[in-house]
Structure 1
Amino acid sequence: MALLNIRDLTVEFPTRRKVFKAVNAACLTVEPGEIHGLVGESGAGKSTIGAAVMGLLERPGHITGGTIAYREDEISGLDDEAMRKLRGRKISMIFQDPLTSLNPLFTIRQQLTETIIANLKVGKVDADARALALLQRVDIPDPETRLDQYPHQFSGGMRQRVVIALALCSEPEVIIADEPTTALDVAVQAQILELIRDLAVERQVGVILITHDMGVIADTTDRVTVMYDGSVVESGPTAQVLGQPEHDYTKSLIAAVPRPNRKVHRFPQVSYGGRMTSFAIEEIAKGWPVREAPEGALVSVAGVTKRFAEKGGLLPWQRRHFKAVDDVSFDIVPGEVFGVVGESGSGKSTIARVISGLYRADGGNIYFDGRLVSEPSDKEAIRAFRQDIQMIFQDPYSSLNPRMRVDDIVAEPIKHHGLLSGHAAKLRVGELLEQVGLGADAAAKYPHEFSGGQRQRISIARALATQPKFLICDEPTSALDVSIQAQILNILKDLQEHLGLTMLFISHDLPVVRQMCDRVAVMKQGRIVELQETEALFSDAKENYTRELLSLMPRMSDVSDEVQLPDY
């Protein structure tokens, strides 16, 4: 008997203009002990199915057809009170963004024990012991200390592990995992996926794994359902769907996955449905200033250290700090794409924020174009540096002001640096939006009116507004599906090749790093443990830690050699 049976599910969202059909007659079953993958582009309806099962559809969205049954009981028509009794106890959900699932005002202990007591009806002592065991199971280091800390004291990857522990508190029979490994590096991702597999085997838990990572699907799932534009286009055993895909969209998705075993010049884009997008690199290049490349390094990081307070105190000896970045040094030469990889909490994003000036280093120096920029005394050098360096963040939505229109967002750096004003600035914004494939009409809209990939294009337009020399890309595609990822990575490749842009590229996606970077630094616990040219690193890593990271990459092992992929 299936744990979850979804039949002809249709979900609609009425708007002022029309009724938007987010899910159209979708069918899906989950058996005990089965991991069922759900893949497709952003907006395909994957997360909507998960929300419908949990009774968490955002209004005015509602189910207009079909049924959802838990075991043999239909649950799609239950009222709020009945769903609250089911939700968490029998069916649990792991959300993509851990910050939306954790209360910033309560410690991890309070959140875990409260959930355990509410669902399992145990005492405080037993709940404390279970909470500690859960943190150990999801591999949180020093769990006794971490239990009494707050969510903001955890890295993104560790917060996601806490969210997974929270979902396991009630010992559910069905888990809906909505992009559970998006923010995780390969090492932690492997641990979490192993944990999900163990739960399925040992406790016969049924899992719906919603993800855009085809490697995760290949490595983890038993069955897979592919969605496009709200409808199911293909479904079946994972080996069959990935090894011998029948639908053109499935073939196109598989082709867009970065290959870990070889380097390609460009990423194939998903062409099904006419969704190829244009990017006018030639137009951008026409107006780009011709600069002489400096001799030697464009960016030099020399012995940089950054500490954060771990424990406060009135007196100095009562305070405790940890080193997020510990004596890190490297050079980035003009026109190079320099990659930084490592586990969650290894210091990757911290070093990026120190270089950009968002954090101030506690030790060491940073030089840009031969000038010291880590000390605020040289105001002229700092101002020029801030114009010449721009950053593309991991989450395009949180890096864009939701109350500002797109034209104001893109124009902000132009006006701040006094490059253009008035009508000239407006024309420049329109040109940038056209060049990144959004069109000038996008200027009057707000960030929430765009998809994730389109929002990342807005971030790229804003980053190009000052015509920088140096671009910092901090996990720029981790929240995007493979089709949108291919578009964004091709844009970044074009920028580097045609404009000679120098880049610092931070990612936990090792196949993407292999395709994008010229050299790669591997970080562990705040230090660089290995630095090599990319191909040398992937083919002959020197350090055990690097070899371990490479061995944990999800691989498309189920893809048959008979699948006709585009010619790279």
Structure 2
Amino acid sequence: MTEPVLSIRNLTVEIPTRHGLFKPVKNVSYDIHPGEIRGVVGESGAGKSMTGNAVIGLLDDPARVASGEIWLKGRRIDNLSPEEQRAIRGREISMIFQDPLTSLNPLFTIGEQLVETIQLHLKVSATEARERALALLDRVSIPDPKTRFDQYPHQFSGGMRQRVVIALALCSEPSVIVADEPTTALDVSIQAQVLDLIKELASETQVGVILVTHDMGVIADTTEQVTVMYSGEVVENGPTDKVLSAPEHEYTKSLISAVPRPQVKLHRFPQVSYGGRETTFKIEDLARNWHKPELSKSGKLVEVKGITKKFLEKSAILPSRRTYFTAVDDVSFDIKDGEVFGLVGESGSGKSTVARMIGTLLPVDGGQIHFDGEDVTAMSAEDMANYRKQIQMIFQDPFSSLNPRMKVESIVAEPLIHHKLLPPDQISGRVHELLDRVGLTRAAANKYPHEFSGGQRQRISIARALATQPRFLICDEPTSALDVSIQAQILNILKDLQEHLGLTMLFISHDLPVVRQMCDRVGVMKQGQLIEVQDTETLFANPKQDYTAQLLDLMPRLAQLSS
């Protein structure tokens, strides 16, 4: 067998705190061989990303490698000087980060960032760097690379931004890629393309890949070896097929059992029970002060009638010379009282744009949106304030939707204060209750967003969304950043709210097994148009459109997990 390109030996990372040393990574060991893809899986806070950060030398102060060794192609790198580590970082080891928005500079075009990275590491001319950048954009399935080359990150969907980040990681032709949740923001079709690309690159260039993910389907379809981590330690190591089909450790068995089943609809999501960490959610805990929402006059709480949204693509002084991109094209559907209506489709299909128009975060260019019979597009300022109190939104990207300068208690309390829903002396108690219900301790209230993992930040966003006791909840990829155990907790909470309190939801997701479990009806979007609407079971069993069938065929299928 070939020598490993990367070896991690008994790695321990420690962080000094007021209460002593905290060790988020303890005695972790595994190897990466040339051309091998090793999956690293576990819950949020298990130490997966921290291990990857230690490998690439990106531990935030005061975190440090306390013991152990990291070897790259026969050279020890954990004890190098900062200057020597910078020479390796990006060139020999590159990283695909979990959050694409914070990985890209909003002040520079995508092309400028790619060209800069290529020229920094490969020492080529600007012309050759541009050609390489365009080829990389095409390789990661960015449509119309020449046009997209001159656009800025905010002009891309979440999934498209993630593909740009993957292109950036490939710029230097590295020996090792640390991929930290590289498919978190991607729909099933683009996820399949990206994972196929990673497998192709590993095979052709013999680059070693550490694939950090909470998606067991990705682990099964992509990796050859898998490392399971729990509370900073490795609890199981081995070939992927063996670990998934015949896990030895109780935690691995519990983790696999929590994966949503694509073949059958369950009433509740199984939860990870290892270590006494299973959360039993009692609806009465959250419902103590929750007023059951009124039924709409027509039985349809939300009615979307022919809405259209266009974005300016090319500006010009003369209106006739301006060009526009139609993101949403004449879309119509309704959402009944107490229903969970799902929207699925590829990145850039217009799902999130529809959600933002319903949430009044984007103006409607054509058509109407009715809420309980009232035209939202024609509301007065007073009616609009009341409407916004009745709807809340959980965004796809938890980091950019939380104010980094506010503590969690202030973030969750903000809608309560803004809408004057509780006396000041009751707000803190309500915030603590909400944090408890989404699986965070009350100590989280005094921390800032950057002190939490991606999954924990999403739970903060969900607590904030529930604070106003909304009638209608817009969930835009609410579990994309969550591991399967926390996903199960959050989705069970949403199920309870929908079933017992009559909460109505628009649920947008690229995770089709989750959509099957959560939604009563599903709409399928393609290139800005709604091409199919059916009840969930009918859609999954007998889709009308070929495009829908293709999406379902791309859904990761874990035969060993679905029995």
Instruction: Determine if the TM-score, normalized by the shorter chain, exceeds 0.5.
Output: yes
Q: TM-score range by the shorter chain?
A: over 0.9
Distance 1:175 1:345, change over 3 A: same
Q: Displacement of 1:436 after TM fit?
A: 4.5
Give the TM-score, by structure 1 length: 0.94
Comparing 549-558 with 208-217, which one deviates more in the overlay? 549-558
Distance 1:330 1:400, change over 3 A: same
* SS in structure 1 at match of 2:378: coil
Q: Displacement of 1:26 after TM fit?
A: 0.8
| 8 Å CA contact retained: 2:438, 2:490 | no
Aligned to 2:80: 78
Letter in 1 for 2:523: A
| 8 Å CA contact retained: 2:293, 2:503 | no
For residues 488 and 395 of structure 1, the distance between their equivalents in structure 2, rounded to whole angstroms, comes to 16
Aligned to 2:245: 243
Letter in 1 for 2:555: M
* SS in structure 2 at match of 1:162: helix
Aligned to 1:566: none
1:305 aligned to 2:308?
A: yes
Q: Displacement of 1:431 after TM fit?
A: 4.3
For residues 112 and 444 of structure 2, the distance between their equivalents in structure 1, rounded to whole angstroms, comes to 44
* SS in structure 2 at match of 1:374: helix
1:30-71 residue CA offsets vs partner (Å, 9 max, x unmatched): 111111111111111111111111111111111111111112
For residues 440 and 139 of structure 2, the distance between their equivalents in structure 1, rounded to whole angstroms, comes to 45
Comparing 65-74 with 78-87, which one deviates more in the overlay? 78-87
* SS in structure 2 at match of 1:93: strand
1:470-524 residue CA offsets vs partner (Å, 9 max, x unmatched): 1111111100111111110111001001101111001111110000000000111
- Correspondent of 2:488 among 480, 483, 486: 486
1:211-254 residue CA offsets vs partner (Å, 9 max, x unmatched): 11100000000000001111100000000000100000100110
Letter in 2 for 1:401: N
1:49 aligned to 2:41?
A: no
For residues 254 and 398 of structure 1, the distance between their equivalents in structure 2, rounded to whole angstroms, comes to 30
- Correspondent of 1:338 among 308, 322, 341: 341
Aligned to 1:175: 177
Q: Displacement of 1:456 after TM fit?
A: 3.5
1:131 aligned to 2:129?
A: no
Aligned to 1:370: 373
For residues 97 and 414 of structure 1, the distance between their equivalents in structure 2, rounded to whole angstroms, comes to 28
Aligned to 2:359: 356
1:240-294 residue CA offsets vs partner (Å, 9 max, x unmatched): 0001000001001100111111111111111111112343411333433345422
* SS in structure 1 at match of 2:386: helix
Distance 1:445 1:550, change over 3 A: same
Aligned to 1:316: 319
Aligned to 1:192: 194
For residues 58 and 431 of structure 1, the distance between their equivalents in structure 2, rounded to whole angstroms, comes to 31
* SS in structure 1 at match of 2:460: helix
Distance 1:502 1:133, change over 3 A: same
Aligned to 2:264: 262
- Correspondent of 1:27 among 11, 26, 29: 29
Distance 1:254 1:427, change over 3 A: closer
Aligned to 1:325: 328
Aligned to 1:385: 387
Distance 1:435 1:233, change over 3 A: closer
Distance 1:383 1:89, change over 3 A: closer
Comparing 311-320 with 280-289, which one deviates more in the overlay? 280-289
Letter in 2 for 1:537: L
- Correspondent of 2:528 among 498, 514, 526: 526
Letter in 2 for 1:197: K
1:75-114 matches, cutoff 5 A = 75-114=77-116
For residues 72 and 548 of structure 2, the distance between their equivalents in structure 1, rounded to whole angstroms, comes to 44
* SS in structure 2 at match of 1:357: coil
Letter in 2 for 1:132: L
For residues 199 and 408 of structure 2, the distance between their equivalents in structure 1, rounded to whole angstroms, comes to 43
Comparing 240-249 with 548-557, which one deviates more in the overlay? 548-557
1:409-558 matches, cutoff 5 A = 409-436=411-438, 438=440, 442-558=444-560
Aligned to 2:205: 203
| 8 Å CA contact retained: 1:218, 1:558 | no
Identity value in percent: 67
For residues 529 and 118 of structure 1, the distance between their equivalents in structure 2, rounded to whole angstroms, comes to 45
Q: How many residues align?
A: 560
Q: Displacement of 1:442 after TM fit?
A: 4.8
| 8 Å CA contact retained: 2:376, 2:384 | yes
Aligned to 1:289: 291
| 8 Å CA contact retained: 1:392, 1:463 | yes
Letter in 2 for 1:484: I
Q: Report the RMSD for the aligned CA atoms in angstroms.
A: 1.9
For residues 443 and 203 of structure 1, the distance between their equivalents in structure 2, rounded to whole angstroms, comes to 47
| 8 Å CA contact retained: 1:338, 1:520 | yes
Aligned to 1:564: none
Distance 1:7 1:372, change over 3 A: same
Give the TM-score, by structure 2 length: 0.95
| 8 Å CA contact retained: 1:219, 1:557 | no
For residues 104 and 54 of structure 2, the distance between their equivalents in structure 1, rounded to whole angstroms, comes to 21
Distance 1:163 1:452, change over 3 A: closer
1:366-423 residue CA offsets vs partner (Å, 9 max, x unmatched): 11111111223x3443233222111122233432323333333333222322333322
* SS in structure 2 at match of 1:298: strand
Q: Displacement of 1:115 after TM fit?
A: 2.1
Distance 1:195 1:429, change over 3 A: closer
Distance 1:323 1:271, change over 3 A: same
For residues 431 and 238 of structure 2, the distance between their equivalents in structure 1, rounded to whole angstroms, comes to 46
For residues 422 and 544 of structure 2, the distance between their equivalents in structure 1, rounded to whole angstroms, comes to 50
Aligned to 1:158: 160
For residues 282 and 455 of structure 2, the distance between their equivalents in structure 1, rounded to whole angstroms, comes to 17
Q: Displacement of 1:12 after TM fit?
A: 1.0
For residues 540 and 212 of structure 1, the distance between their equivalents in structure 2, rounded to whole angstroms, comes to 29
1:126-152 residue CA offsets vs partner (Å, 9 max, x unmatched): 222211111111111111111122222
For residues 77 and 285 of structure 2, the distance between their equivalents in structure 1, rounded to whole angstroms, comes to 54
Comparing 168-177 with 236-245, which one deviates more in the overlay? 168-177
Aligned to 2:276: 274
| 8 Å CA contact retained: 1:298, 1:334 | yes
Distance 1:41 1:207, change over 3 A: same
Q: Displacement of 1:526 after TM fit?
A: 0.9
1:113-128 matches, cutoff 5 A = 113-128=115-130
Distance 1:299 1:206, change over 3 A: same
| 8 Å CA contact retained: 1:391, 1:463 | yes
Q: Displacement of 1:158 after TM fit?
A: 1.2
* SS in structure 2 at match of 1:456: helix
For residues 283 and 468 of structure 1, the distance between their equivalents in structure 2, rounded to whole angstroms, comes to 17
For residues 319 and 208 of structure 2, the distance between their equivalents in structure 1, rounded to whole angstroms, comes to 51
| 8 Å CA contact retained: 2:187, 2:345 | yes
